[in-house]
């Protein structure tokens, strides 16, 4: 009974791997015929084959285990005992038809969360970090000190505040909740022989704290505006992007936070604040209140 179960299991696994081999060969042919331009001519075939027949570690271990078991049974019993019979081979088309049954919205989300770096939110975070923050943040605290002396003001926090709303960012939210936008905090960096200017917006809070007015280096991340615009497009705004919008926001926040904390040049120079755009009654959240609450947690300003 047990031996029959083991033999049938080996036959099933062999059938599945054969079906998978044939299907991947078909995909190789399609890739070669229709997508050749994505490959360099000199290694087109080998690259397609390598990509098509790659296996994850679980599949490799499973295949190895059943190969060893199958060889052992063949040697001790019958060399043909573990080969798939016609009954098993006739189920290959059924396997092809059911192959994608495991796909669901939740599995798509798991793929979005995987650390492969090929997803939209990771791309947005990497673009913001490597295109701007890694150049503008080194020496930021010293520049903020100089800015305070030159303009006779005081920053509420000696770091950049990046606000990440859970919904579509509002262009006017900062102007609405703060008195004025001051002169930007600028950084000039030479790249490829050209001076490039990176700047962060500075806002004055519309209320006093301990009878003092504070300023903040504060901004909403530009990639979020680009993403919101893309969702309005009939070409880019897929239903997946719209349905997974919050997941994309969260993944963007997580990866940007990872990048900032992993780099000594940017670590402890940014506070990422993800927040709900509206309260329970649907009213826009007051950003100044949000910052006051954040200051209470991160500074000694309100402690006796």
Q: Answer yes or no: do 148 and 263 share one domain.
A: yes
Is-contact 270 137, C-beta < 8 A? yes
Q: What are phi and psi of 264, to 5 degrees?
A: -60, -30
The answer to the question of residue 109 being in a domain is no
Question: What integer pLDDT is reported at residue 304 of this predicted model?
Answer: 37
Residue 183 makes CB contacts below 8 A (sequence gap 6+) with: 151, 202
Q: How many domains does the chain have?
A: 2
The answer to the question of residue 107 being in a domain is no
Q: What are phi and psi of 199, to 5 degrees?
A: -140, 150
Q: Answer yes or no: do 291 and 206 share one domain.
A: yes
DSSP helix/strand/coil, 41:
helix
Length of the chain, in residues = 304
The answer to the question of residue 260 being in a domain is yes
Q: How far apart are CA 281 and CA 111, in angstroms?
A: 34
Q: Answer yes or no: do 163 and 76 share one domain.
A: no
Q: Answer yes or no: do 145 and 275 share one domain.
A: yes
Expressed as residue numbers, the domain containing 245 is 120-298
Is-contact 52 31, C-beta < 8 A? yes
Last residue of a domain, one of 50, 67, 101: 101
Q: Answer yes or no: do 34 and 131 share one domain.
A: no
Question: What integer pLDDT is reported at residue 173 of this predicted model?
Answer: 74
The answer to the question of residue 114 being in a domain is no
pTM score: 0.74
Other CB atoms within 10 Å distance of the CB of residue 54: 10
The answer to the question of residue 20 being in a domain is yes
User: Exposed (0-12), middle (13-18) or buried (19+): which is 270, by Cβ within 10 Å?
Assistant: buried
Q: How far apart are CA 216 and CA 200, in angstroms?
A: 10
The answer to the question of residue 46 being in a domain is yes
Where does residue 152 fall: left (phi above 0), alpha (psi -120 to 50 degrees), or beta otherwise? left
Over the chain (304 residues), the average pLDDT of each successive run of 10 is: 76 87 92 89 90 86 80 67 80 85 74 75 92 91 92 91 80 74 83 80 86 89 86 81 82 92 93 84 82 81 48
């Amino acid at each position: 009974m047990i031996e029959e179960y083991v033999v049938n299991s080996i036959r099933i696994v062999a059938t599945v791997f054969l079906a998978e081999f044939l299907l991947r060969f078909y995909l190789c042919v399609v890739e070669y015929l229709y997508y050749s331009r994505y490959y360099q001519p000199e290694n087109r075939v080998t690259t397609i084959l390598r990509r098509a027949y790659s296996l994850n570690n679980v599949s490799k271990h499973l295949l190895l285990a059943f190969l060893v078991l199958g060889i052992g049974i063949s040697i001790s019993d019958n060399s043909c005992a573990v080969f798939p019979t016609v009954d098993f081979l006739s189920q290959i088309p059924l396997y092809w038809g059911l192959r994608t049954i495991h796909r669901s919205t939740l599995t798509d989300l798991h793929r979005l969360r995987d650390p492969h770096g090929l997803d939209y939110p990771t791309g947005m975070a990497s673009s913001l970090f490597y295109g701007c923050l890694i150049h503008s943040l080194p020496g930021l605290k010293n520049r903020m000190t100089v800015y305070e002396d030159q303009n006779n003001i005081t920053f509420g926090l000696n770091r950049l505040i990046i606000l990440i709303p859970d919904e579509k960012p509002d262009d006017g939210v900062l102007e609405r909740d703060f008195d004025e936008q001051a002169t930007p905090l600028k950084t000039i960096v030479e790249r490829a022989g050209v001076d490039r200017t990176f700047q962060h917006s500075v806002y004055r809070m519309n209320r006093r704290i301990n009878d003092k007015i504070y300023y903040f280096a504060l901004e909403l991340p530009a990639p979020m505006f680009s993403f919101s615009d893309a969702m309005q497009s009939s070409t880019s705004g897929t239903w997946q992007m719209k349905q997974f919008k919050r997941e994309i926001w969260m993944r963007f926040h997580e990866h940007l936070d990872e990048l900032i904390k992993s780099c000594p040049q940017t670590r402890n120079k940014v506070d990422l604040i993800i927040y709900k755009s509206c309260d329970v009654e649907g009213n826009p959240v007051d950003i100044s209140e949000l910052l006051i609450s954040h200051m209470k947690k991160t500074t000694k300003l309100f402690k006796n």
